[in-house]
């Protein structure tokens, strides 16, 4: 066995170790972000510009939504398009006019694919001209699998949409404060030139970014409201016409670890103040996320410790099934670090965290929280492998023999055939895993294959 394989399987690490094996992206295609974004943004229409292969993929990926009425379509590129024999602008104009006539959406989102990237289609150049002609906003997002991993498709869409958000008018807020505060408060304002976060009239706006189902968004809103924090908006919003106002006086906080490009756009282009916090995945992560936001607004959080302990107590039956079990993340949806941290807190041993892309700045708080969790649970800190090479990963899995491997769909069946219990990582993407109450959803996904494996062993099947 090669030295690189042996060194990576050494678990006696006391600090974070990052490695990059520069393997290919073995992930779900990022254009699949259409499947949840078109449901989240109810007045949108997504136009995927690609080949028939992209169309077949979307048909299969979204086949489970056969009873839904989708608001997406394919602009299929033929050989004549690829060889530049046809006029791309005329064809896109025809499709967009048809979309306007049939659906009349508030926004059309063009999703660029690998093909548009390879043939260098000038989507960003055509969109403003066409937008002026048809009178509907056109947002361009390049969600190609050459440059981006699975969930980064959402990141490119939200990054493009962030630039369409209206400008936050700080004067309006100042006028409201002037007319509502007392003379004493006004003197305090002039002296400190700061806003009191406990008063919703005076509080600096807070925008959360990341696409989650409305039930999850409502729960996170309520959790922050209990601490006296008002949410001024979400990116994406339920309707494109209600995009949140952004500006230098606006605080923003992410709820998914794969939104680093969006965070960069919000900070650099919209001049927002980013709140770097662990992500609200699991009761431990949700508590840390709320506490960090409260600290920024100078609020002492109330009742979070009791709330977290109550959730852990309700999960005890599931926790007994996984304590002491080992798990190996091959890397697919960029949720790996947050999920690993939560499972370590549940009592599992994480051998390796494979991840397609790691932005250490955006995930700095989550990485620090991972270290802290490993220290509290008295377990070694797992290595983090960026862009893992699957060949070497398979060798490490054979050597370590983990109880569970969380992997992309491409590797699940081959591993199962070799006696390795697996779980599709894509299921964590499409499940509700944020907030206190959804911690059970994560454990259900983890315990289900372990229960199945235990049942099969009890049946004593013979080959």
Annotated binding site: 29, 54, 114
387: left (phi over 0), alpha (psi -120 to 50) or beta: left
Residue 438: asked if its preceding bond is cis (omega within 30°), the reply is no
- Rounded Cα distance, 341 and 323, in Å: 14
Q: Are residues 358 and 21 in contact, defined by beta-carbon separation less than 8 angstroms?
A: no
**8-state DSSP, 340:** H
Q: What residues have CB less than 8 Å from 116, skipping those under 6 apart?
A: 49, 50, 77, 123, 142, 144
Binding-site positions for [4Fe-4S] cluster read 29, 54, 114
253, β-bridge pairs? 208
Nearest CA-CA partner of 159 in 69, 34, 270, 304: 270
Helices (H), 227-325: 260-268, 282-296, 304-314, 316-322
CA-angle at 297, arms to 292 and 298, nearest 5°: 90
- Rounded Cα distance, 208 and 217, in Å: 9
CA-angle at 197, arms to 193 and 201, nearest 5°: 85
Q: Are residues 393 and 422 in contact, defined by beta-carbon separation less than 8 angstroms?
A: no
Using a 10 angstrom Cβ sphere, with 0-12 exposed, 13-18 middle and 19 or more buried, the burial of residue 256 is buried
Q: Is 37 helix (H, G, I), strand (E, B) or coil?
A: helix
* Cα torsion 392, 373, 333, 124: sign: negative
343 φ, ψ to 5°?
-70, -35
Please report the beta strands in 77-202, taking only residues with DSSP state E, as ranges in sequence order.
107-112, 138-142
Q: Are residues 175 and 201 in contact, defined by beta-carbon separation less than 8 angstroms?
A: no
* Cα torsion 33, 156, 136, 215: sign: positive
20 φ, ψ to 5°?
-130, 120
Q: Are residues 223 and 248 in contact, defined by beta-carbon separation less than 8 angstroms?
A: no
- Rounded Cα distance, 190 and 227, in Å: 26
- Rounded Cα distance, 437 and 346, in Å: 15
């Amino acid at each position: 066995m090669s030295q690189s394989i042996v060194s990576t399987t050494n678990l006696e690490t006391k600090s974070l170790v990052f490695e990059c094996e520069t393997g290919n992206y073995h992930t779900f295609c990022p254009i699949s972000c259409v499947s949840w974004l078109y449901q989240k943004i109810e007045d949108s229409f997504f136009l995927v510009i690609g080949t028939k292969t992209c169309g077949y993929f979307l048909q299969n990926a979204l086949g489970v939504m056969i009873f839904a009425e989708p608001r997406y379509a394919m602009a299929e590129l033929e050989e004549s398009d690829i060889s530049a024999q046809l006029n791309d602008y005329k064809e896109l104009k025809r499709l967009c006019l048809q979309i306007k006539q049939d659906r009349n959406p508030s926004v059309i989102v063009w999703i660029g694919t690998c093909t548009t990237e390879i043939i260098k289609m000038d989507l960003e150049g055509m969109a403003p001209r066409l937008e002026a002609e048809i009178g509907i906003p056109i947002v361009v997002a390049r969600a190609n699998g050459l440059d981006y991993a699975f969930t980064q498709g959402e990141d490119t869409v939200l990054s493009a949409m962030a630039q369409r958000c209206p400008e936050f008018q700080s004067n309006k807020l100042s006028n409201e404060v002037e007319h509502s505060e007392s003379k004493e408060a006004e003197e305090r304002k002039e002296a400190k030139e700061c806003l009191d976060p406990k008063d919703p009239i005076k509080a600096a706006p807070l925008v959360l970014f990341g696409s989650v189902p409305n039930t999850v968004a409502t729960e996170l809103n309520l959790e922050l409201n209990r601490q006296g924090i008002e949410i001024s908006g979400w990116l994406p919003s339920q309707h494109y016409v209600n995009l949140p106002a952004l500006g230098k006086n606006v605080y923003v906080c992410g709820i998914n670890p794969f939104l680093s490009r969006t965070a960069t756009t919000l900070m650099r282009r919209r001049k927002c103040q980013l709140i770097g916090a662990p992500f609200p995945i699991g009761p431990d992560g949700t508590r840390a996320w709320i506490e960090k936001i409260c600290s920024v607004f100078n609020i002492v959080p109330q009742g979070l410790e009791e709330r977290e302990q109550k959730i852990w107590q309700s999960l005890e039956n599931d926790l007994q099934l996984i304590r002491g079990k080992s798990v190996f993340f091959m890397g697919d949806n960029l949720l790996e670090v947050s999920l690993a941290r939560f499972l370590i807190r549940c009592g599992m041993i994480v051998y390796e965290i494979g991840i397609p892309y790691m932005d250490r700045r955006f995930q700095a708080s989550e990485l620090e929280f991972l270290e802290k969790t490993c220290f509290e649970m008295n377990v070694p800190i797992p290595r983090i492998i960026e862009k893992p090479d699957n060949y070497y990963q398979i060798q490490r899995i054979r050597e370590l023999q983990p109880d569970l491997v969380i992997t992309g769909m491409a590797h699940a069946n081959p591993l199962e055939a070799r006696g390795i219990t697996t779980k599709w990582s894509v299921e964590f993407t499409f499940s509700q895993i944020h907030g206190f109450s959804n911690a059970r959803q994560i454990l259900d996904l983890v315990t289900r294959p372990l229960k199945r494996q235990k049942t099969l062993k009890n049946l004593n099947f013979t080959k």
